[in-house]
Each structure stands twice: as C-alpha cells, then as structure tokens.
Structure 1
Amino acid sequence: MNVLKSSRCLLLLTVLLFTNLPSALAGKVLVFPVDGSHWVNMNILIEVLHSSGHEVTVVRTASSWYVKEHSPHYKAITVTLPEPINIEKQDFFISFLSKMLEIQKHGGSPIAFVQFYWQMLKILYGMHWQASQLVVEIFENPMLMKQLYEGRYDLVLIDPGLPAGVLVAHKLKLPMVYNVRWITSGEGHFVVAPSPVSYVPAALSRLPNRMSFGDRLKNIFHYVLNTCIDHFIVRPEYDKLVARYFGPETDFYHLLQGADIWLMRSDFVFEFPRPTMPNIVYIGGFQCKPSKPLPPDLEEFVQGSGEHGVVVMSLGTLVRGLPSEITTEIAAGFAQLPQRVIWRHLGERPHNLGNNTLLVKWLPQNDLLGHPKTRAFVAHGGANGIFESIYHGVPVVGIPLLFDQFDNMLRLKVRGAAKVLDVTKLDRQSFSAAVREVLHQPSYRDNMQRLSRLHKDQPIQPQERALFWIEYVMRHKGAAHLRTDSYKMPWYSYHSLDVMAFLLAVVLAVGGAVVLIIRYLCFRLCRRQKSKRE
C-alpha cells in the first residue's frame, strides 16, 4: 500500500514537473521587425518561438501593411508615426522600380550611374529619417516606455536593416539578437567580421570572389562608396538620436555592432567563403520545409502538363508588377513553351497570354517548387526564393530587379545553377531561349540538386539552430564571451597602423644610430690615419 502511494506521488510530481516545464523555460521576447519581405522571415522565427512556449511582443507602426496588429503568435505594440516609412507604402517599390528601369535603359553611362545613385540616396535618406522618428515616438512617450520597462523582456530580436530597435534595446539594457543579412551600411558581415576586399565582394558590387585586378579596383570603389553612403547619408540621423538620448560619449556604430548573436540568413553552400566570427550563426534556408499537397485546382493544372512539367514564376512580395511592355514579352515567351506555366502576377493581365499559362495572385511557392513536375523557377533573386529553389533542387531563370538580387543571382550563376537575364534587354526570343536552356541542359538541374544535397547535409536544421541560440542568450543573459571588442578600437589600432608606425620608428632609430656610429668610427679611423701620415 505504501509502495502504491509512493508511486502515485512520484507520478503526480512528474506530471506537475512536465506540466510546468514550458512556463519555467519560457522567455519574453521583444521584436523590432522590418516590413515587407523581411517580415516573412521574422514571422517564421516568431511562430517558432511561440510554439516553444515563449511570449512574443512585436513593435509595429500603425501604417504597416505586412505586420498585422492581431496575431495568435504575438502581442503587438503599435506606434503611430508622423509619416509612414517608405517600405510601408504598397506602391513604393512599383514607382521605385519604374524609375530604376528607366535609368538602366540608358546603359552604363556616367550620367545614368549618377542618376541611379542620386535617386537611391534620396530614398535611402528619407527612409532612415522616417525610421529614426520611431525612436523619438517611443522615447518621448512615458506611458509606452513604462510599458516596455515593466515588460521585463529577456532579449530583443531585431532586424537591423532599420535599427530603431538597437537604440531601444540599449535604453532597456537588454541583450540583442539580430535576424540579419542587411544593416544600415550594407551586408552585415562587413561590420562584425574581417572582410578583405581582395576576395570578399562588397555589397551590390555584382562581383564574384575570384577577382581580376580590374575587379578588385571595382570592389574597392564599391566598398568605399558603401562606407561613404553609410557615414554621410544614413548614420547622421541615428547619431543625432544617440547624442540626444545617450550623450556624446556613446557611439551609434558601437551600439549597432554590439549584438550578442547575429542570426545570419546565409549559407556557405550559396555564399562565397569569407572570414566569420563566433557570434555569427548561419540560418540560411530556415524558412524551407518539405512540400505539402497542392490545392485540388492547382494540382489538376500541374498534372495536366504531362511529361513536359511546369514552370513557376514569381517576383516576390515587394514588387507588385513589372511594366506592361516587359510582361507582354514574358507572356509571349511563355506561350512558345510546351510546358505549363504558373505565374504569380498582380499587375495588368497581358493581352497575349498563352493557353498554357495560369495567372494567380498568390501561389504556394514552397509546395510548387517541391512538386515533382516543376522543371524551372523564374525568379527575381530574393533570398527566400533562392533558398527554396536550392532546398528543392529547382534550377532558376533569374530576372534580378533591385538591390541584392543581382548579387544573389550571380552566386547561383557562378555555381552553374541559374541563367540570368537583363530585364531592360529582355524580349520574347531571349526569354524563351533562356527558359529552354535551363529546361533542356541537364547541368543546370544537376548543379542545383548538388547544392540541395549540400544544403540539407547538416547536423541540425537552421530553424532549430536559430531557436537554440535565441534561448542560449535568454539562459545566459547575453553572450558577451562570443563578442569581440575590436569594433571599439580606433581604425588605426584595428589595422595595427600604430604598431607598424612604432616598429618603423624603432627600425629607423636603430638604423640611424648604426649609421651614426659607423660614420663616427670612420671619422675616427680617418683622423688616426691622417695623424700617422703627418
């Protein structure tokens, strides 16, 4: 009887222990996302955290069109800005793309180059000025600051592309984890890890890692240009905020570089090899997963393709439509193929659409790419689509449009897994020929499937790796032991110029002393010989 009672007590204690385990391990995470396609990535991490028992609070703006106020996975804190951030306007990327395409049509002339960068810099400055106002609205709202302090969060999860959350985390004295590839000055590696420009391509340079002398000149130019843009266009607005709220002794760049963990949305199967650091964790492809069955109507369309299979086309979440003169050429090129085509298209319907092409406003991209009848993927080169195509081993026809899409497509092209087209020179013949090349040359599919095997051959999946390191920071109240303090060093100390100058001075001093001694000895010897002759 006593044994039975003891067993029941032990069972009850075990049940209570495991019932309370999630709450005992649960943490509170404050999230600062960036709208648009970046939110797609952040939302996946939020769902993972929520399913693991963590409480998530997302700071959003009232004008956000992707980050919703109500969600089963998080609570929202909504901040109203005087003016919406550019990327929160649904027509922003349409008008921006139109201007960029118009400039690119004039070729690589110096005037076109200056126009391109002038337009980009105006937009970039406006975007970061608007983002800086989010910090002002938060810090100048006593009720909101009280709410944030009383939230007793364990860490702040930040997309540092718009780094308002960095300043808030510093004010709350909380550890920071970045969900990152891009920061204010470009690709995140360049501010946290050594980045020799002799073999590490600068952001937006469109260069491979094996560079000729001319390529290295171009790479240094892009690196210096990116640094100047960051120092003179982006940073001044945040420097003003840091001086205003933290004092002149605090440096914004030090705050930005001081994250405990960098969850880098990259993978060396795709990225070129380069130096890294112990607090960088690679989670490239963490959004990828095995495909699920398609909706019945879509499955019927796919199965109707027979032995030819289907081609999938999508230009991502940001760009809602290409100019009609380009979509007309694409539609005509698709009409020449025996394959069926599923095209995510939100603009005006092309008048010459072929009977083999299905236009949809939304498509289950991951599930379509994982379907055995999918033969090729026509894409703009966004990171999400790139990794899903790698995961499922589907070769790509690239039509890069903006920002890092050109660099992304270059990496696939170098690995023989993609054919890349210039959208400003695209016509139905060149487009159809490119798709046929990718469909019928086995090397494209073979190379992409090789990348897929390499990407999947990991001891732990990227999503699990991301969760582990977020919880690691919670458990240890940060990860300061993984951070280097190199970013706090003056530039001349970082590059050891002061040491080299000291050693040079020593060498010169010793050399000078030796020369003086030799000259003195020679002088004494000459005088002695002269005295003997006299």
Structure 2
Amino acid sequence: MCLPGIFIVTLLTLSIPAVHGGKVLVFPQDGSHWINMKVIIEALHSRGHSVSVVRPSDSWYIKETSPHYSSITIDIPGGADEEFFRSFVSRQIQIQREGKSAWTRFSLDMELKDRFSEMHRKVCEMVIQMLENKQLMQSIRETKYDLVLTDPANGGGVVLAHYLNVPLVFNVRWTIHGEAHFAIAPSPLSYVPFPVAELTDNMIFFQRVRNFLVYVIRQHLYKQTVGPHYSALVSRYFGPEVDYFSLFQAADLWLMRVDFVFEFPRPTMPNVIYMGGFQCKPAKPLPQELEEFAQSSGEHGIIIMSLGTLIGQFPHDVADEIAAAFSHLPQKVIWRYKGDRPMPQNDLLGHPKTRLFVAHGGTNGIFEAIYHGVPIVGLPLVFDQPDNLSRMKVKGVAKVVDLATLDRNIFSQALQEVLDEPSYRMNMQRLSRLHRDVPMEPLDTALFWIEFVMRHKGAAHLRTESYRMPWYSYHSVDVMVFLLAVVLFTLCLAKTLCPSLVFLLWRLFQKNK
C-alpha cells in the first residue's frame, strides 16, 4: 500500500470511537418479536460483542444453540403458546366471517386477556427462579455485563437489569402497558391517536372522545392483566414502595421500532431513538426457481402474499375466495405457506417485478414494503394490525379489506384498484425515499446508541425524571390549586376589608370638610 493510503487508513482507524468487546445480556420476547431482536443480536456479534440470551426451556422461536449468542436456559415454561395464538387467530377470523354476537367477541377477548395474564405470570416465575438460583446469579454477576437489552413487551429483563444495577436498553414498540410512547413521552390525546383506535392526528370532536375512551379502557385492561404479577415481583425484591412501571420508565434508552413515515407527528424524548425498518436491507438475488417464476410473469409482474407467523392457512372458504380473485389477474402470485422453507419476503419485495404486497399488517412487513416502495392490500387479523394498516391507508399507500365481508369480487376490486391506480405506488415510493434519506442506516443508529450506553455506563443525561413525580405534580394540579387558593383568599380579604376601608375614607373626607 502506498504511503498516502496507509496514512488515510490510519487516520480513519483513529477517528472511530474505541468500543471494547462488550457483554450484553438479552431478555427477549418470544414469537415474532424475536425476529427483530435476532437482527440486533447478530449485528452486535459481528462487531465483536459477547451476547447471552435468557430463554425458557420451551421457547417457541429462540434456539438454545447459536453461533451468535450463548443461551441461559431456565427450566420453566415461558408461556408463549404458539398453538394457542394460532387457534385464537383462526377463531377470530371465524367470528368475523360468521358475524357472531358482540358477546362472543368479548368472550374471546377475555380469553386472550387471561392468556396474556398467564404468560406474564410465567415470566415472573422465570425471573424468580433466576434470582433465587445463587449459583446462576453469581455467574451472571461475575460476567460483568455492560447492559441488559430487552423487549419490554414483558417485564423480565426490566426487573433483572435493576436487580443487577446494569444499564437498560429497550428494543421496543410495545410495553406491558401498550404503545411505548405513552409510557415515556407527553401524549396529548387531542392529537396523538392511541394505537388500536384506528384514528389519525387530525380528529373531530367525537373521534377525540373515542380516542380518550379507548385509552382509558385499554390502560385499565393492561393494568388488570399485568399489574398483580409485576407488583408482587417488584415488591418482593425492591420493596412495596417501588412502583413496577417506574422501573420501565427508568430505562436508559428506548430503541423505537417505528419512524415518522409510519408514526404521526407527536412529542418525543431525548432517549427515544428511532430505528423503524432496521431489519430491512437491499434485496439479494432470488433462488433460481423463484427468479425463473418472477421473470416468467413478463410485463405484468408478480404479487406477494404473506400473513406473518400466526397464519399457516386461511379457512377453506376464505382461501377459495382469495384464490378465485387471483386467478383472474394477469399477474403471477407467490403466496407464503408456513412450512420448513420460509419465503424470502424482503428479497421478493425488492424484486423489480413485484407490483403488490398482500399483507396482514404486521410492523415488520409494513416497513419492508415501505423500504422497497411496494403498495399494500391489507387483510388485518388481530392485535395492532388494523391500526397499522389504517395508518397506511391514510397515507394513500394501502387498500384495506375487511375479512368479515371478503369475497372474490371485493378482493379482486381491491387488488385491481391498487394495481391500476398509480397514486398507490407513487405515494409508497415517496415514503420509501423519505424513509431511506437518513444520515445513518437505522441498524447502525441502533448499534451506535447501544455502544454509547456501554461506553458511558448508561445515558442518565437523556432520561427525564418526570416519572418520579406524582400525577398531580406532573399535571401541575397542585400549582393550579395553590394559585386558585391565592386568588380566592385575595378576593375574600378584599371583601372583608373593603367596607372598613370605605368607612375610613368617608370619615377622613368628613373631617376635612
């Protein structure tokens, strides 16, 4: 290498912040959330960090052996029952299709609430088993982890981080109390729509009423579901005066899995770092058989259909209606079936022949569609999917079809509208340009801030302490009561003194006459 080249390489090397090979303890959420966490774990491993992953013995997605991490397997069921959730989604579809009573839907929702409560109870049991295992905890302490990385959809990692007194970083969109912004940032319900309400940031009066009611009811349900378990756990190890949710709010960093091509404008905080679409990447070449299939579509191109991890197949009547609609299109269709060979969704969405994405509305799929500029026909199923797709609909990049009324004609019209109307693709390509036009790739941003926390042993200077304030101080109720009392006291004093003052002035006037 020539001398100038050596000089440049040396200069670049010296300019890179020094980061030792850190030690990261990961307490993930099983299921589809693991897909996101695994991306970060693999990236941390590639940068020389040592990663340990806590997992239950019956983990749904998290493998015990991996080249990217070592596992700490706790011999206890984790509660993330794959078969229950698949059965739940199937029954939800059936209820929607058959137009069953509101009571039937409510009963199913209560069953889901009970299952989530059971899942959180098992998470707490798992944490207790860890903390009571002196040999395990001694090993964890001796490892001297630099931080705990967790998904706060469960509270296990939060309790573990505070018990170990180690910096805490979230890979987050949802906490145990719902959407993460509402836990950490000011969220005026007048213009910040609560997810699942399917509203925008421009609400008329009755929409604001709905937004408020959905927020209050959901917060009550969340607290009912998780409160008893985490309150007992936190009281046991930190004392009864510690509020379990304050431990969440004390996290050093919130790596948020959205950005503002998806999220509506809203207040945020310095320790919230946006990394929406961090799992997206340029498309790789397709396997030969898929490439040949895509090329055989000619000028019409292909349609991709995938409904996430919980749906292997639709009820036969729904599948028949969808297939019948597809059969009338000139486009070729790749329909994901859950099997041993997963579909390379990101690579297919990035293929130049792809014209349309039929999706259930999971955040991962939505961001992959945004990244590659592919418009969506949405078939929302459960959880946050209807709200996610409603956001895409407002932005003019998606057409949403209700499963309750879906037939071949309705589905065919939705497909044809998105394929034929150029605005859907143009709007999505505009979102794609906005999403990609950033100084750093979202994954690199996430890694920088994780390493920032390692280097500085936390990020307390970015964290507000407002969560420690009682509600009446946070909302300045005590200040307003004090000022009102001063005004009332002044008025009362004036009323009391005024007659005497008038009489005194009258006497002085009479004396001077």
Q: Give the TM-score normalised by the residue count of structure 2.
A: 0.93
Structure 1 residues 511 and 102, CA, compared in 2 at 3 Å: closer, same or farther?
A: farther
Aligned residues: 503
Q: Out of 34, 37, 41, which is 2:32 matched to? A: 37
Letter in 1 for 2:152: P
Distance in 2, matches of 1:332 and 1:520, equals 92
Report the alpha carbon displacement of residue 24 of structure 1 after superposing the two structures with TM.
Answer: 6.5
Gaps spanning 5+ residues in structure 2: where?
none
Q: 2:327 aligns with which of 314, 335, 355?
A: 335
Tell me if structure 2 keeps the 8 A contact 1:106–1:112. Answer: no
Query: Aligned equivalents of 1:236 and 1:203: distance in 2?
Result: 24
**CA-CA distance at 1:402 after TM superposition:** 0.9
Say if 1:288 and 1:142 are closer, same or farther in 2 by CA, change over 3 A: same
Alpha-carbon spacing, 1:297–1:258, altered in 2? closer, same or farther (3 Å): same
**Counterpart AA for 2:186:** P
Does structure 1 residue 510 correspond to structure 2 residue 490? yes
Give me the CA root mean square deviation. 2.5
| Secondary structure of the corresponding residue to residue 267 of structure 2 | coil
2:465 maps to which residue? Answer: 485
Rounded Cα–Cα distance in structure 2 between residues aligned with 1:111 and 1:96: 16
Partner of 1:397: 377
* CA–CA distance in structure 2, aligned partners of residues 278 and 107 of structure 1: 46
Pick from 39, 44, 50 the counterpart of residue 55 of structure 1: 50
Alignment match, 2:92? 100
- Maintained 8 Å contact 2:258/2:277: yes
Equivalent residue number for residue 268 of structure 1: 260
AA aligned opposite 2:238 = F
1:220 aligned to which of 176, 201, 212: 212
Name 1:253's counterpart in structure 2: 245
1:517 Cα deviation after fit: 2.1
Q: Tell me the secondary structure at the aligned position of residue 41 of structure 2.
A: helix
Once the two structures are TM-superposed, the CA of residue 107 in structure 1 deviates from its matched residue by 5.6
Alpha carbons 1:292, 1:367 under 8 Å: kept: yes
Post-superposition CA distance 1:52-100 (Å, at most 9, x none): 110000101111121101111110110121x441x3x331222111232
**Aligned runs of 1:60-459 on 2, under 5 Å?**
60-81=55-76, 83-85=77-79, 87=80, 89-105=81-97, 111=103, 114-346=106-338, 362-459=342-439
Alpha-carbon shift at residue 485 of structure 1 (Å): 0.4
Amino acid at match of 1:393: G
Does the Cα contact within 8 Å between 1:23 and 1:53 map onto a contact in 2? no
Identity %: 56
| Aligned equivalents of 1:230, 1:254: Cα separation in 2 | 15
CA distance in 1, matches of 2:493, 2:103: 57
Question: In 2, are the aligned partners of 1:30 and 1:153 still within 8 Å (CA)?
Answer: yes
- Do the aligned partners of residues 518 and 106 (structure 1) sit closer, same or farther apart at CA in structure 2, a change above 3 Å counting? farther
Deviation sequence 1:462-499 (CA, Å, 0-9, x none) = 01100000000000000001000000100000000001
Other structure's SS at 1:58 match? strand
Which deviates more, 110-119 or 198-207?
A: 110-119
Structure 2: how far apart are the matches of 1:332 and 1:228?
Answer: 44
TM-aligned CA distance change 1:516 to 1:144, over 3 Å:
same
Matched residue SS, 2:305:
strand
TM-score by length of 1: 0.90
1:425-457 deviation line (CA, Å, top 9, x unaligned):
111111111011111100000000000000001
Contact 1:390 1:449 in 2 (8 A): yes
- Partners of 2:126 and 2:219 in 1: how far apart? 24
Instruction: Note if contact 2:26-2:148 (Cα within 8 Å) is conserved in structure 1.
Output: yes
Question: Tell me, what secondary structure is at the counterpart of 1:271?
Answer: coil
Q: Hey, what's the Cα distance between the residues in 2 that align with 1:191 and 1:23?
A: 33
Q: Distance in 2 between matches of 1:313 and 1:54?
A: 37
Q: Cα offset for 1:130?
A: 1.8
CA contact (8 A) 2:51 2:70 kept: yes
Distance 1:51 1:514 in 2: 75
